[in-house]
Amino acid sequence: MTHALRVLSSLGLILALALTLGGCGKDPQCKKGKPCGDTCIDKDKDCHQ
């Protein structure tokens, strides 16, 4: 594996961990918005999923 791929892989793992710890999985718990797919969006926006 090249160095660039290793860096991207590490960033992907960190991002996945951050999303999991942040409560955004399949059913995200949104503090200042609403769930849209596996992310959170503003309450006044429409979910296009």
Domain span at 33: 3-41
pLDDT, position 19: 62
Cα distance between the two ends of the chain: 34
Instruction: Single out the residue of 39, 35, 37 nearest to residue 49, CA to CA.
Output: 37
Beta bridge partners of 41: 34
* Of the ranges 17-21, 24-28, 35-39, 40-44, the best mean pLDDT one: 40-44
Q: What is the CA radius of gyration of the chain?
A: 14
What pTM, to 2 d.p., does this model score?
0.38
Give the Cα separation of 20 and 5 in Å (integer): 22
Average pLDDT over residues 7-15: 74
Q: In the chain, how many domains are there?
A: 1
Any domain includes 21: yes
Any domain includes 34: yes
Please indicate whether residue 42 or residue 14 has the higher confidence score (pLDDT).
42
Any domain includes 35: yes
Contact of 34 with 41, CB cutoff 8 Å: yes
Q: Decide if pLDDT at 38 tops 70.
A: yes
pLDDT > 90 in the chain, percent: 6
Any domain includes 15: yes
